[in-house]
Chains A and B, each alone.
Chain A
Amino acid sequence: MSTQVPETETETEAETEVDHDEPLAPAQEERMRKKAEARADREERARREAAERADSDDDTVHLKVFRFDPEVKGKQEPRFDDFHVPFEKGMTVLDALIYARDTFDSSLTFRHSCRQAICGSDALFINGRQRLGCKTQLSDLDQPVRVEPLPHAEVEKDLVVDMDHFYDQMEAVEPYFDADELPDGELDEQRQTRENREKVKMSTRCIWCGACMSSCNIAAGNNEYLGPAAINKAYRFAMDEREGEDRKQHRLNILEQENGVWRCQTQFSCTEVCPKDIPLTEHIQELKREAVKSNLKFW
């Protein structure tokens, strides 16, 4: 590829082993000078921004963020760090955490990705309640805003918790569709009524964020309890009319085991915190009724 710049590769390579007693090649000198200027500009800008922040205390949000790192001295004892983040209208807790990390402390660790409440990776304990960081407006919260990892899960570092137990429970309910028979043609659909789709719709919205499990007192005291998310996942299939009776019975058998639906004490905390508004407690109650009905048949 041709370029308009006369700089050659040899000059570029020379920079790595530059001997400062030797005069620099003009192009290289020019580049070093530009680099230094650019750095001075950036430092100046950072100073200016910091000064602006200091002048506008009213427009900052005070975050108290949980910190812990098993490997790093000084973070092995859990503590809270304070961050003062400049506030802009519409700012969410996740926005503030990102600002704090990118500006003040790059070791601040939390999961996040889609920032639109669909990947489910940034469920946190914010001002004493399980919420998605990306979906929580700072303007709705009292200050200082306390940000902690999800309770009842092992903390790996800062706001990151171990999700393995949650995933294990989700996968324990055989969470996959299993119709009795498929249509003959590979282009034929298994028709489903609009009503039936509507029936399972809310249950399909789960984003596996773990907020419900974290809020559930029963799950906290009993590691074997399937928990609201997994039971909701089972509901999604048990209520789908396209799966046959045998399969439904098999699903109910899983759900009425010792640590299934009967452990739920209808405290509604899962339903309260669900960021996708899934009526989890209702789904669990409905499955209890189904389980009773199916057992009555055999008596």
Chain B
Amino acid sequence: MYEHDVIVVGAGGAGLRAAIAAQEEGADVAIVSKLHPVRSHTGAAEGGINAALREGDSWQDHAYDTMKGSDYLGDAPAIETLCQDSPKEVIQLEHWGMAFSRDDDGRVSQRPFGGLSFPRTTYAGAETGHQLLHTMYEQLVKRGITVYDEWYVSDLAVTDEERPEDRTCHGVVAHDIQSGELSGFRATEGVILATGGLGQVFSHTTNAVANTGDGVAMAYRAGVPIEDMEFIQFHPTTLPSTGVLITEGVRGEGGILYNEDGERFMFEHGYANNDGELASRDVVSRAELTEVNEGRGIDDEYVHLDMRHLGEDRIIDRLENIVHLSKDFEGVDPLDEPMPVKPGQHYAMGGIETDENGETCVGGLYAAGECACASVHGSNRLGGNALPELIVFGKRAGAHAAGKDLGTAEIETGQRGEYELGEVDTPVQPGEVEPAGGEGDAVADGGVAADTGSGDGRDIVERAVVRERERVQSLMEKEDGLQHAEIRSDVQESMTRWVNVFREEDGLKQALEDIAEARERYQDVFVKDPSRTFNTDLIQTLETRNILDLAEAITLGALARDEFRGAHWRAEHQERRDDEWLKHTMLSWNDGTPELWYKPAILEGEDKKYEPKTRSY
């Protein structure tokens, strides 16, 4: 068993920032990550990082834009924390040497982005995430922070008191991918989940293959509520063949969207008469698909994004990476012709419920970054708000876990205060095929053991390791059955077909049936590769289970929310219904059966209340 004060799971932007912050507070911190840190998906972020740095801008304006962008489903304490902390955090990166693009006076450059009332998106060409990831990894090296890279964390060691709010997380179970060794990692002060996105739930996504939502699924199965899962962001400009992202910076710099008839449809068809291409992402995604559905798409699939008029110098200065991506992955040179683009899954607004200090309702368990939902993005994330989220909340989670007093959080987690239970009619029983304490369940059986055992959590971690060892053994010992790839791709395709930009009741129900069938099939899954060395067959089989649980959570939330808000569009419900729906969708696993409940969105800020207004661009 390995032991550290703080264990960070995942080594993207949030994980690295959390580790640095925890160490600065004096903790012995280690990162456990299935990829080497520089391989993390944060590196693929392109456009930029929002921070109110300039005269004429303010954190209050940033907060207002973010709340409006969220369609009033963000929580004000989290949004205000994000906007207050991000300038200092962005300049911290600058002080660490991050290679931001520069203005003529030597200051960091900023540019306009969708949904922002000020050009506050700070950037490094079209490779902001790459520069950010590497800069933070450099700081990690400087500090000598321990990294267990290519270790796959597959379970949390959590006690099993009846109420999740009474449980404690003592560590994690991880597989050394290189050797096949399974080991416990005990954290004496806290475990921070920073495992990133879940784009692999869908077949057309900008996300890396590694983004299987492991942290969200593990926390969910350990009893931590997951929040607002139905809100999936579809990015309006991805390459049709691969889902590779074309940054919003292209539109920020003046790129134009055209349909097959050469019309600038954002204006000519009235989707966003003021902001045009720079309307919020949900608005642009729906506009593009409407064009395609009404027969004005190109090859019945996509639209054109044209940046040729910007001129080669400006393109190379600010968007050079886009030229390479378009050439290498779509065979189109955007200096000569417009790029084909269509919407693709990009970001999960929902995730593990946390407060503004990164704490979940389970003691000692934190989450930060895309896997978490402190609720800064509500039902739609603004471009350029993901990277500040990583560093602001990564830092807070790391510091808090290591004992720093950040004040009492205003957001309550778990079933406390004002919450209500929800109901939804589903065509099939959601949840595990064999529910209620089956051997696959993630919650440790340590409630009693914690009293009789050593009392320091070692036994809880040990038991989790034993159970995981049994699970792996049974997967490896089976001689025949189904392979994960087939189950995974069927679910991905069903999600892309039925739970996409446009959602209809029958389609959502169909997706739930498909997922239930996939769960049945997963009972027969087996690992064909007998090797312990670098067994990606095994790791992907474990990941596939996470994809199933999350696909179901997304679809359940989407079926339950019978209104149109932010990224969540429902064919039968074309109105935002503030009277009933200014509340967060919560799902708790409860031993294998999802329980649906709601808690109100917090629109009350530090010194103002954000009044919901019609969202127009």
Closest chain B residue, CB of each to CB of A162: B178
Determine whether the beta carbon of B423 is less than 8 Å from that of A2: yes
> When each residue 72-116 of chain A gets 1 if its CB lies under 8 Å from chain B and 0 otherwise, what string results?
100000000000000000100000000001110111011011111
Chain B contacts for A56, CB-based, 8 A: none
Determine whether the beta carbon of B427 is less than 8 Å from that of A5: yes
What 4 A-B pairs come out closest when comparing CB atoms?
A177-B97, A191-B106, A107-B529, A102-B485
Residues of A112-167 contacting chain B, CB below 8 A: 112-121, 135, 137, 156-158, 160, 163, 167
* B145 → chain A closest CB, angstroms: 12
Within 8 Å of chain A (Cβ to Cβ): is B449?
A: no
Among the listed B101, B209, B325, B531, which residue makes an inter-chain contact with A113, where contact means beta carbons less than 8 Å apart? B209
Among the listed A7, A16, A102, A208, which residue makes an inter-chain contact with B38, where contact means beta carbons less than 8 Å apart? A208
Within 8 Å of chain A (Cβ to Cβ): is B593?
A: yes
Closest chain B residue, CB of each to CB of A112: B209
Residues of B517-559 contacting chain A, CB below 8 A: 517, 520-521, 527-537
Within 8 Å of chain B (Cβ to Cβ): is A38?
A: yes
> When each residue 1-25 of chain A gets 1 if its CB lies under 8 Å from chain B and 0 otherwise, what string results?
1111101010011011000000000
Within 8 Å of chain A (Cβ to Cβ): is B335?
A: no
Determine whether the beta carbon of B39 is less than 8 Å from that of A120: yes
Determine whether the beta carbon of A117 is less than 8 Å from that of B328: yes
* A219 → chain B closest CB, angstroms: 19
Closest chain B residue, CB of each to CB of A206: B134
Given contacts A1-B424, A189-B94, 5 further A-B contacts (CB under 8 A): A2-B424, A5-B429, A106-B485, A119-B40, A179-B95
Task: Give the complex CA separation of A191 and B531 in angstroms.
Answer: 53
Determine whether the beta carbon of A107 is less than 8 Å from that of B531: yes
Which stretch (A57-65, A180-188, A264-272, A279-287) binds chain B? A180-188
Among the listed B99, B106, B242, B430, which residue makes an inter-chain contact with A201, where contact means beta carbons less than 8 Å apart? B99
Determine whether the beta carbon of B135 is less than 8 Å from that of A177: yes
Determine whether the beta carbon of B595 is less than 8 Å from that of A194: no
Within 8 Å of chain B (Cβ to Cβ): is A200?
A: yes
Determine whether the beta carbon of B43 is less than 8 Å from that of A119: yes
Task: Give the complex CA separation of A114 and B199 in angstroms.
Answer: 11
Given contacts A189-B94, A197-B102, contact A72 B534 (CB under 8 A): no
Among the listed B38, B101, B536, which residue makes an inter-chain contact with A197, where contact means beta carbons less than 8 Å apart? B101
Among the listed B88, B100, B534, B593, which residue makes an inter-chain contact with A187, where contact means beta carbons less than 8 Å apart? B88
Task: Give the complex CA separation of A1 and B590 in angstroms.
Answer: 11
Given contacts A1-B430, A135-B328, A194-B104, contact A120 B38 (CB under 8 A): yes
* B523 → chain A closest CB, angstroms: 9
Determine whether the beta carbon of A116 is less than 8 Å from that of B44: yes
Task: Give the complex CA separation of A42 and B486 in angstroms.
Answer: 9
Within 8 Å of chain A (Cβ to Cβ): is B425?
A: yes
Within 8 Å of chain A (Cβ to Cβ): is B295?
A: no
Chain B contacts for A197, CB-based, 8 A: 99-102
Determine whether the beta carbon of B537 is less than 8 Å from that of A107: yes
Given contacts A120-B39, A190-B94, contact A156 B425 (CB under 8 A): no
> When each residue 84-102 of chain B gets 1 if its CB lies under 8 Å from chain A and 0 otherwise, what string results?
0001100110111101111
Closest chain B residue, CB of each to CB of A132: B328
Q: What are 25 of the A-B contact pairs (CB < 8 Å)?
A: A1-B430, A1-B596, A2-B424, A4-B425, A4-B427, A5-B428, A15-B434, A38-B517, A90-B242, A105-B528, A107-B530, A109-B529, A110-B536, A114-B44, A115-B242, A118-B130, A119-B38, A135-B329, A156-B533, A167-B36, A176-B142, A177-B138, A191-B102, A204-B131, A207-B43
Determine whether the beta carbon of A3 is less than 8 Å from that of B426: yes
Within 8 Å of chain A (Cβ to Cβ): is B416?
A: no
* B49 → chain A closest CB, angstroms: 14
> When each residue 33-65 of chain B gets 1 if its CB lies under 8 Å from chain A and 0 otherwise, what string results?
001101111011000000001000000000000
Determine whether the beta carbon of A109 is less than 8 Å from that of B485: no
Within 8 Å of chain A (Cβ to Cβ): is B105?
A: yes
* A105 → chain B closest CB, angstroms: 8
Which of B53, B131, B241, B422 gathers most chain A CB within 10 Å? B241
Determine whether the beta carbon of B428 is less than 8 Å from that of A116: no
Chain B contacts for A163, CB-based, 8 A: 36
Chain B contacts for A189, CB-based, 8 A: 91, 94, 106-108
Task: Give the complex CA separation of A90 and B242 in angstroms.
Answer: 9
Given contacts A7-B429, A16-B434, A182-B95, contact A106 B139 (CB under 8 A): no
Given contacts A197-B99, A204-B134, contact A118 B106 (CB under 8 A): no
Which of B38, B41, B131, B434 gathers most chain A CB within 10 Å? B38
Task: Give the complex CA separation of A171 and B134 in angstroms.
Answer: 12
Which of A163, A189, A237 gathers most chain B CB within 10 Å? A189
Q: Is the interface of B mostly helix, strand, loop or mixed?
A: loop
Within 8 Å of chain B (Cβ to Cβ): is A289?
A: no
Chain B contacts for A263, CB-based, 8 A: none
Task: Give the complex CA separation of A116 and B328 in angstroms.
Answer: 9
Within 8 Å of chain A (Cβ to Cβ): is B228?
A: no
What is the number of residues of chain A that contact chain B, defined by CB distance less than 8 Å?
Answer: 74
Among the listed B138, B208, B325, B534, which residue makes an inter-chain contact with A156, where contact means beta carbons less than 8 Å apart? B534
Within 8 Å of chain A (Cβ to Cβ): is B601?
A: no
Given contacts A115-B208, A119-B44, A191-B105, contact A38 B521 (CB under 8 A): yes
* B83 → chain A closest CB, angstroms: 14
Which of B99, B210, B486, B596 gathers most chain A CB within 10 Å? B99
Chain A contacts for B331, CB-based, 8 A: 90, 137
Closest chain B residue, CB of each to CB of A110: B536
* B533 → chain A closest CB, angstroms: 5
Within 8 Å of chain B (Cβ to Cβ): is A240?
A: yes
Residues of A193-245 contacting chain B, CB below 8 A: 193-194, 197, 200-201, 204-205, 207-208, 237, 240, 242
Determine whether the beta carbon of A160 is less than 8 Å from that of B39: no
Closest chain B residue, CB of each to CB of A186: B88
Chain B contacts for A121, CB-based, 8 A: 35-36, 39
Within 8 Å of chain B (Cβ to Cβ): is A31?
A: yes
* B247 → chain A closest CB, angstroms: 12
Chain B contacts for A35, CB-based, 8 A: 517, 520-521
Within 8 Å of chain A (Cβ to Cβ): is B594?
A: yes
Residues of B285-341 contacting chain A, CB below 8 A: 324-325, 328-331
Task: Give the complex CA separation of A283 and B435 in angstroms.
Answer: 60
Task: Give the complex CA separation of A179 and B244 in angstroms.
Answer: 36
* A252 → chain B closest CB, angstroms: 18
Chain A contacts for B125, CB-based, 8 A: 201
Determine whether the beta carbon of B39 is less than 8 Å from that of A113: yes
Residues of B550-602 contacting chain A, CB below 8 A: 593-596
Within 8 Å of chain A (Cβ to Cβ): is B436?
A: yes
Within 8 Å of chain A (Cβ to Cβ): is B146?
A: no
Determine whether the beta carbon of B39 is less than 8 Å from that of A177: no
Chain A contacts for B35, CB-based, 8 A: 113, 119, 121
Determine whether the beta carbon of A240 is less than 8 Å from that of B141: no
Determine whether the beta carbon of A116 is less than 8 Å from that of B242: yes
Task: Give the complex CA separation of A160 and B535 in angstroms.
Answer: 11
* A8 → chain B closest CB, angstroms: 9
Chain A contacts for B426, CB-based, 8 A: 1, 3-5
Determine whether the beta carbon of A106 is less than 8 Å from that of B537: yes
Within 8 Å of chain A (Cβ to Cβ): is B433?
A: yes
Within 8 Å of chain A (Cβ to Cβ): is B355?
A: no
Within 8 Å of chain A (Cβ to Cβ): is B127?
A: yes
Determine whether the beta carbon of A160 is less than 8 Å from that of B534: yes
Given contacts A3-B428, A176-B138, contact A187 B53 (CB under 8 A): yes
Chain B contacts for A190, CB-based, 8 A: 94-95
